[in-house]
Amino acid sequence: MRELLPFIRDLRAERGRLALGTLLLIISLLSAIGLLGLSGWLITAAALAGLAGLSLEVYRPSAGIRFFAIARTVSRYFERLVHHDAVLRALARLRGQLFRAMAPLPLPQLGRMRRSEMLNRMTADVEALDSLYLRIMGPSLAAAVTSLITVVVLVWLTGLVGWAVGAVLLFGGVILPLAAWRLGSPHGEQIDRHLPALRGAGLDAVQGLAELRACGAVERHERHLMGAAEGLGDARARALRLSGLGDAATGLLGHSALFVALLVGVQQYQAGEISGPLLALAALAALGAGEALSALPGAWQQLGRTRAAARRLLEYDARNQGTGSAGEVEPGANRTLQDSKQSKLQQPDGPLSIALEGVTFRHSPYAEPVLEGADLRIEAGECVAIFGPSGSGKSTLLNLVAGFVEPEAGRVWLGDEAVDEWPEEKRFGCITYLAQSSELFADTVAANLRIAAPYADEQQLWRALNMAGVDEVVANTADGLDEWVGEAGSRFSGGEARRLALARVLLTDAQVVLLDEPFRGLDVATADEVRRRIEPWLSQRTVVIVSHDPAAAPAHQRRVAFGDI
């Protein structure tokens, strides 16, 4: 259970709401038991009074029944409202913490992780943790308190009946959740194994549909996808069968408590120790107390999945120990720490030279080399355009310079040090990288730009937008800098989104600028205008531009064919 402790500590921020929600849950359970028991008492008392020809004061018991009925409904509504609000707030914070833990991971390590794995961590694993309090801790605590109060009241009213009911509730309340946990853990492991496989197959089908069609592998992948779906469905069916057995067991527990209460209570009634109405109250209250435990087996059945999810999420903290924190840096698109308030490492004063010496790189041990014995020297402050056909390895070259991948042979130099000898935070502090597919988050324009410069004011944001040639586009939107970008920049065209990503690069104060197809999606006139606007900014830095178009760099700068490297 040790892996759950960090997440339990995180719940302290919501302890007020969680305590209120638990109190409301206890009130709801006690109201249900009180409603059932008092109704039994009143019906039995009224029947006996009628048989004996006696009068019975029914107003106060009737008022109590109405009170319990209203209290049960109202408390249950607000319990759900308060508990879900608290847990959803906690999960939202957890997703942010998880992203901040993933962002500074070394790029080679991130590159080895499948997108489906990241998606599963951000969604299924985080959602599995909502069971920790919402279904396990809170209901277990409420059931224990409710059962204790019920037993105390029954002991006070009926003596031995209360003790007998307490013994049944204690036995069932401990054995059933533990059995559900032990029996449910294997099913949870199977679900955890099949769910990522299904998501991975689904993402592969969507993202690689063109390749699957070209290779005639659609039907084969469809069979793989259906197999993963069937495996997940079978695992969930087995878990549901166990859940059904748990529901049956809790029903049996409630009726066992009812039977024990009647068995002991009838003897006390015959001995004249309790009245008939009290016997009915005790029996029905015992049944209600058993039902208060009904949610526990199903909740504890999920404990195995919750623990496994917690272990997987904690792996990111373990991986991130000693790497330094990159804050809320966008992975893979514009990874940089420019602001001096964010980085305590001393950054170089001016542009840095770049050198490749005998570099060989291949994507896998059995693949053809993308680069073989490559040599290239770029002086500090120089702007170089490297051009070549699509797929030739230009982006790989930039990844080598940025330190995102490591060469098989040779060295890559940044200034006077090899790239792999630079501390990662310092390296990201002096390099800014516009990747071929720069990501835009579902947030405002300003928030996307401030990923590169968190403390930039509006004037700086507009200046960067102007240099990227997208200031008029943003100004013509309804909310300007507060305009919602949409998922992956969906509110803007491809060229506009590309220029927003370029504006983010221009907000940095990097010494080395790496641009991968910076004018992709722009018409010739717009590309020429943007190139003219950013030339003064580029002239103060070491710049590497890769493109299939030799005209991508300013006219007076050096051009290198990729095949000549």
Q: What is the pLDDT of residues 506-548, one digit of tens each?
A: 999 889 999 998 888 888 888 889 889 999 998 889 999 988 8
Place of tokens 């209570």: 265
Look up the domain containing 99 and give its range: 2-320
Asked whether residue 71 falls in the same domain as residue 219, the answer is yes
Q: Is residue 510 part of a domain?
A: yes
How much is the pLDDT for 326? 32
> Are 377 and 511 members of one domain?
yes
Q: 297 with 155, same domain?
A: yes
In a shared domain, residues 302 and 413: no
Q: State pLDDT tens for residues 104-131.
A: 666 666 666 666 677 777 777 787 787 7
Tokens of 362: 């291949």
Domain end point (choices 262, 297, 320): 320
Domain CATH code at residue 444:
3.40.50.300
Helix or strand holding residue 386 (H, E):
strand 383-387
pTM of the predicted protein model: 0.66
CB under 8 Å to 62, separation ≥6 — which residues?
Answer: 42
320, 340, 363: which is the final residue of a domain? 320
Burial category of 177 from C-beta neighbours within 10 Å (exposed 0-12, middle 13-18, buried 19 and up):
buried
Q: Are residues 381 and 308 in the same domain?
A: no
Q: Tens of pLDDT along the chain (565 residues)?
A: 777 887 778 778 888 888 999 999 999 999 999 999 999 888 888 888 877 767 677 788 889 889 999 999 999 999 999 988 988 888 888 888 887 777 766 666 666 666 667 777 777 778 778 777 878 888 889 999 999 999 999 999 888 888 999 999 999 888 988 888 888 888 877 887 788 788 778 877 887 888 888 888 888 888 888 888 888 888 888 888 888 888 888 888 888 889 999 899 888 888 888 888 888 998 999 998 888 888 888 888 888 778 878 887 787 665 555 443 333 333 333 433 333 334 444 566 778 899 989 989 887 777 788 888 888 898 988 888 888 887 778 888 898 898 888 888 999 998 888 888 888 778 888 899 998 877 888 889 999 999 888 888 999 999 999 999 989 999 998 888 999 888 877 888 888 888 999 999 999 988 999 999 888 888 888 888 988 999 999 888 999 998 887 666 666 678 887 776 7
- Are residues 308 and 417 both part of a single domain? no
Residue 293 · residue 263 · CB < 8 Å: no
Residue 178 has a CB neighbour count (10 Å cut-off) of: 14
Helix H or strand E encompassing 358:
strand 354-361
Specify the number of domains making up the chain: 2
Identity at 393, one-letter amino acid code: G
Question: Quick one: 436 and 531 in the same domain?
Answer: yes
CA distances from 91 to 85, 122, 365 (A): 10, 10, 41
Examine residue 293 and state whether it is found in any structural domain, yes or no. yes
Rounded to whole angstroms, what are the CA distances from 68 to 75, 290, 363, 366, 504? 10, 18, 69, 73, 60
- Both 144 and 258 in one domain: the answer is yes
Co-location of 465 and 530 in the same domain: yes
For residues 390 and 445, membership in a common domain is answered with: yes
Residue 397 lies inside a defined structural domain of this protein: yes
CATH number at residue 28: 1.20.1560.10
